[in-house]
Amino acid sequence: MTVVRALARPLLSAIFIVQGANSVRNPEPLVSKAQPVTDRLVPMLKKAAPAQVADRLPETTVNLIRLNGAAQVLGGLALATGKGRRFGATLLAASLVPTTLAGHSFWQEDEKAAKAQQRVQFLKNLGLMGGLLLAAVDTEGKPGVAWRASHGAKAAKRETKRGAKAAKRETRQLARDAKARARLAKAELHLG
């Protein structure tokens, strides 16, 4: 299974690294398709983001395309190398949303053949997103942080209960021993 994972990550990442680098170097051919999406997305992001972030968001479509391309290169490299692979997969899945909406809006096509082609590309991107989401939650057989935290808390609770039971047993035994010594001392007093 580890061989499959080792091969799958670079294969899944390759298209993002190549296309992301191309978007960073040459964003202009993508502007006409991306413009309607960025015109809607930027105001929504500016409203939702904290003021410190909203002020720094690029507003031009060219810069947003470059930013998305840089995110794809970064996410692709993180996933391919395995260094921050879950973050990389999450970043790539997020970058696919505007890419897919801008590049493959099949519902806006009038021509039947173009509509069919764009639908295939849209569904391909959805499939890639599914693979990325699986990669984002894959812990490679190691428990995730949430699992470890909940199970660590349960284990601590179990150990606390065990410790409390052991302390009760020991206390009862000490009390019995103390009573037995007291009886012996009393008996020695009566005899002596």
Distance between CA atoms of residues 173 and 133, nearest Å? 57
Is pLDDT at 1 greater than 60 in this prediction? no
One-letter amino acid for residue 88 of the chain: G
Is residue 132 within 8 A of residue 93, CB to CB? The reply is: yes
Domain contains 84: yes
Domain contains 157: yes
Contacting residues for 49 by C-beta, under 8 A, at least 6 apart: 57
Q: What is the DSSP letter of 104?
A: -
Does an H or E element contain 118, and which?
helix 112-137
Is residue 89 within 8 A of residue 133, CB to CB? The reply is: yes
Tens of pLDDT, residues 82-112: 899 999 999 999 999 999 999 999 999 999 9
Clarify whether residues 93 and 179 are in a common domain.
no
Clarify whether residues 161 and 97 are in a common domain.
no
pLDDT band, very low/low/confident/very high, at 138 (cuts 50, 70, 90): confident
Clarify whether residues 184 and 113 are in a common domain.
no
Domain contains 46: yes
Q: How many Cα atoms occupy the beta-carbon half-sphere of 114 within 13 Å?
A: 9
Q: CA dihedral defined by 123, 124, 130, 132, rounded to 10 degrees?
A: -150
Q: What is the pTM of this model?
A: 0.69
Clarify whether residues 107 and 181 are in a common domain.
no
Clarify whether residues 27 and 89 are in a common domain.
yes
Clarify whether residues 20 and 106 are in a common domain.
yes
Tens of pLDDT, residues 144-176: 666 667 777 788 888 888 888 888 999 999 889
Tens of pLDDT, residues 5-62: 778 888 999 999 999 999 999 999 999 999 999 999 889 988 998 999 888 888 899 9
Q: Cα separations (Å) of 180 from 1, 139, 183?
A: 64, 58, 5
Clarify whether residues 119 and 54 are in a common domain.
yes
Domain containing 17 equals: 2-137
> What's the number of domains the chain is made of?
2
Is residue 71 within 8 A of residue 84, CB to CB? The reply is: no
Clarify whether residues 132 and 157 are in a common domain.
no
Is residue 78 within 8 A of residue 91, CB to CB? The reply is: yes
Distance between CA atoms of residues 149 and 72, nearest Å? 31
Clarify whether residues 130 and 151 are in a common domain.
no
Where does 1-111 have alpha helices with state H?
2-25, 31-48, 51-54, 61-81, 85-103
Clarify whether residues 106 and 157 are in a common domain.
no
